[in-house]
Amino acid sequence: MSPQISLFNGAAWYLAFLFSTTLHEASHALAALKLGDDTAQRGGQVTLDPIPHIRREPLGMVIVPILSYIMGGWMIGWASAPYDPEWARRNPRRAAWMALAGPAANLLICLAAAILIRLGIHFGWFDVPDRINATHIVSAVHREGLWELAAVLLSVFFYLNLLLFAFNLIPLPPLDGSSMPLLFLSDSAAAQYTALMRTPGVSMVGLILAWQLFGPLARVLFNGAIQCLYPGVYNF
């Protein structure tokens, strides 16, 4: 891959990562505000401006994503939105909906990218590529200028948000999916479950297990998503 193409793809990856992560955390913050906790609003997190989110997590929003792209050709990172633990303890179901708002935002971005890809193919702007990867899920008919940029951006937005949605829904702490049981537990059981999830070391173990599980899961998920995007075209 030439340096120009690497820089081009890297810029596309970072733009997609920055927007997707910002919307993920802003969705957490907005959901918390609507459900009775204004902690994130007071911290300036109810916004699509990435600057407050970068200020809160500069390592996860800037340094690690850029380093991971340089070393591996794709981006990983993190961000966070503050919330009141006492509010979450008193309102476990509301806390669960607040946690699930982030992955829901990533799913919406992924679906929006899929719709734009299909519309582009319908109108003859895009085409189905012969080979698919994270930055080449769709190709531009005229492979130059803005159409090529649009094809790469839509590819990365689709791929990245599919992974962010799925990874964050794994029901292990500290991921958002670990809050799903709170929707179904009684108040006393929810309090015990929350205390267990906050036990020192549990989040680290959960993150290691989730990372190990996600490799095989991601391949199956991606193949299934491509078959839905291009029915009858790709058979993995």
Peptide bond into 50 cis (omega under 30): no
Task: Report the alpha-carbon distance of residue 19 to residue 200 in Å, rounded.
Answer: 32
pLDDT by residue, tens only, the chain of 236 residues: 444 447 888 999 999 999 999 999 999 999 999 999 999 999 999 999 999 999 999 999 999 999 999 998 889 999 999 999 999 999 999 999 999 999 999 999 999 999 999 999 999 999 999 899 999 999 999 877 788 999 999 999 999 999 999 999 999 999 999 999 999 999 999 999 999 998 889 999 999 999 999 988 899 999 999 999 999 886 65
Of the candidates 19, 23, 24, 41, the residue with the CA atom closest to the CA atom of residue 32: 41
Task: Report the alpha-carbon distance of residue 92 to residue 223 in Å, rounded.
Answer: 35
Which residues face 140 on adjacent strands? 126
Task: Report the alpha-carbon distance of residue 210 to residue 227 in Å, rounded.
Answer: 25
Instruction: Tell me the domain boundaries of the chain.
Output: 3-229
SS3 20: helix
Range list of β-strands (E), the chain: 126-127, 139-140
Report the Cα 187 to chain-centroid distance in Å. 30
